[in-house]
C-alpha cells in the first residue's frame, strides 16, 4: 500500500510539473515558415496523452470529444475545490486561457463520423 501511494504521489507530481513546466514554443513564423516547434497549446495538450491515449476502460479517451465538451470538463475539474484526483490537480494549474487553448487544440483533432 505504501508503494502504491508513493507511485501515485510521484505520478501526480510529475503530471503537475509537466503541466506547469511544459516547453512553450512560438507558433509558425510571421512569414508562414514552420520552425518545427510546438505551439503552446500543442505542448500542453501533449501531456494529456500520457493518460488519455490508453484503453477507454482506464480513463476516458479524448479522441471523439469536441472543444466545448473538453472545456466544460476541464472547467469542472478546475472549479471543484473538493476534488482530489490527478485531473483536479492538473486542471487547477491551468489559467482560463490555457484551458481554452488546450480544448481548442484537442477539439480540432477530433474526427467526426
d(CA 86, CA 59): 12
Between 6 and 101, residue with greater pLDDT: 101
pLDDT, greater one: 28 or 85? 85
pLDDT of residue 108: 81
- Give dist(CA 18, CA 61) in Å, integer: 19
Mean per-residue pLDDT for 46-54? 84
The chain-wide mean pLDDT, for the chain, equals 74
Domain ranges (residues) in the chain: 2-18+38-108
User: Is the pLDDT reported for residue 4 higher than 80?
Assistant: no
Per CATH, domain 2-18+38-108 is 1.10.760: yes
The reported pLDDT for the residue numbered 63 is: 80
What does the radius of gyration of the chain's CA atoms come to, in whole angstroms? 15
Amino acid at each position: 500500500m505504501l508503494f502504491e501511494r508513493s507511485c501515485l504521489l510521484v505520478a501526480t507530481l510529475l503530471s503537475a510539473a509537466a503541466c506547469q513546466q511544459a516547453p512553450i514554443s512560438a507558433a509558425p513564423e510571421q512569414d508562414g515558415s514552420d520552425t518545427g516547434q510546438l505551439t503552446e497549446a500543442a505542448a500542453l495538450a501533449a501531456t494529456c496523452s500520457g493518460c488519455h491515449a490508453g484503453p477507454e476502460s482506464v480513463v476516458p479517451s479524448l479522441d471523439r470529444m469536441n472543444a466545448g465538451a473538453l472545456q466544460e470538463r476541464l472547467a469542472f475539474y478546475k472549479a471543484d475545490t473538493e476534488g482530489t484526483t490527478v485531473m483536479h490537480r492538473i486542471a487547477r494549474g491551468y489559467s482560463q486561457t490555457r484551458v481554452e487553448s488546450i480544448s481548442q487544440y484537442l477539439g480540432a483533432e477530433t474526427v467526426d463520423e
